[in-house]
Structure 1
Amino acid sequence: MMNECTLCPRKCGTDRINSKGFCGAGSKAIVARASLHKWEEPCISYKNGAGTVFFSGCNLHCCFCQNNKISNTLFGKEISDEKLAEIFLRLQDMGADNIDLVTPTHFVPNIINAFDMIKHKLSIPVVYNCGGYESVDTIKMLNGYIDVYLPDLKYYSPDISARYSNAPDYFEKASAAVLAMVKQVGTLKYNAEGGLLKGTIIRHMVLPSHRHDSMEIIKWIAENTSVEDVLVSIMNQYTPFDFISDEFPELKRKVTKMEYNSVVDLAAELGINGFTQQKSSASEDYVPDFDLSGI
């Protein structure tokens, strides 16, 4: 599949065995950190923390990405699929509540290969934590490997997604992928400790100056999913990092209380269940230390 890559909606067709795709990656998985992580949604990192594996590279390259060090500059270490399988098992041995694959899209073949090596030894759920810009065909490939989908649904307007992520078709592709995820894993299912075993959590981070776009996403979720199948995490953690270009002056500030609350209030009005964040989450302190630990 790496010979002419079509894993994501970019369908860049790159020979990733001999070159790099739009995502910046070749044929080997690149990992920046593998550790227990306690800052996911409560039902994901509920006890000991999610066993997060942060993959480097991305098919979106958002201009404001909080994980810029790994998504856009590709800091990380190339590893074999065998090594990746070892990391999954080590996280399980550390007491991880699940295996949390962060930005995994461009390494799906590596991930499937790694799981095939150890699936008889793995007893915890697997979480697919992605930017939402997914191919339905790739989601179908993951059937039987993923228990919980944790996609972003970032933008509704094609103009906004084109401006910030060079992806005017973002909502078209992401919304179709989300519905495929929900169909695949089905109804929300929890263990006795409140940990999510099956289901989908849709994340949406409110951006400054774009609360109306956020509200369109909330409306779409209410109209196209059910509370039995989907939780929604409305994020207040947008942080105006110094690396954000002056080309985007509207992104040079934090989200206001009014902007965030208007989105949360609409979700409540429409009967959506899920999570909200305190304003204190908008801080560089919550960005993981990508130091190759656990690799």
Structure 2
Amino acid sequence: KALTAEEEARRREELKEKLREKLELEKRALKVVERLLDDSVAEDFLVDCAKMITPANYKDTVEERSIAKLCGYPVCPNKLGKIPSQQYKISTKTNKVYDITERKCFCSNFCYKASKAFELQIPKTPLWVRQHESPPQIKLLKQGERGSSGEEVMLSERCLKEEDVENPVESIKDPVLPLVDSHAQNLIQKRITVEKLSSCLRNIVGPLHLTMIDITTDLNNLVRTFRFTNKNIIHKTPEWTLIAVVLLHLLSEVSPLVREALKTSASVEYLNTLMVELGLQEQDFLNLVQLFKSPAH
């Protein structure tokens, strides 16, 4: 049924208002993250932050603190000492293998476990939905409680395969031995990229009236063409968001569904607003997209 001009105008205004609300909440979350980068944060403030940030925001906090050589747990004022270079550690006490990738961001096993416990209590629902929910009941780990050496690696004899990169949920069910050759490292880098892009795109495809199913296959095919290093896969959340939008425009070259979705007035308005939040002019963004396209000849 065709909408009247008045109904269409009202619908567009409601969409703009929801987008404004979403962007304001995301701005507030980024300001909270900035506060959490202080040398040390009061426990009460950390508990209160849980209702204003997402798990992804908190992961960014931990990463930014560790880059600044601060313990990743915001309530801890300790500086990080010498950071181990290896990814795995074998405990002689438990005879278990641990992935210490995240553990290296903390000054102690206690801070690592306390941080993970807090992260798991942060609501996973989008910020703009939480006004209809009760605030989370957060409990912080108490000093003296046992810490953790890292994430235990459950060993099996199966080798990492290409499909594990594109279907990380399946590979989690059957963890694999740590791999060290260059091919394995490339697969791991692809997997990190797919996970980061998917995390951003889940928040973007809805307003564009797309689903992840609509883009997953083409996205995986595109990621296969990338050349990775241990440096070009490290980006902050706004940068991953920009990369995700650029790749969506590239996918429109091969996907009629994505191409049509990007043409709608609501999509154009949404993406323009998003680009403003990322500090980009429309022409700057179009120039960036063009860099990734093959020459016409």
Answer 1 or 2: higher relative contact order, Cα 8 Å, separation at least 6. 1
The structure with the greater share of residues assigned to helix is: 2
The structure with the greater share of residues assigned to strand is: 1
TM band (smaller chain) = under 0.3
Q: Which has the larger radius of gyration?
A: 2
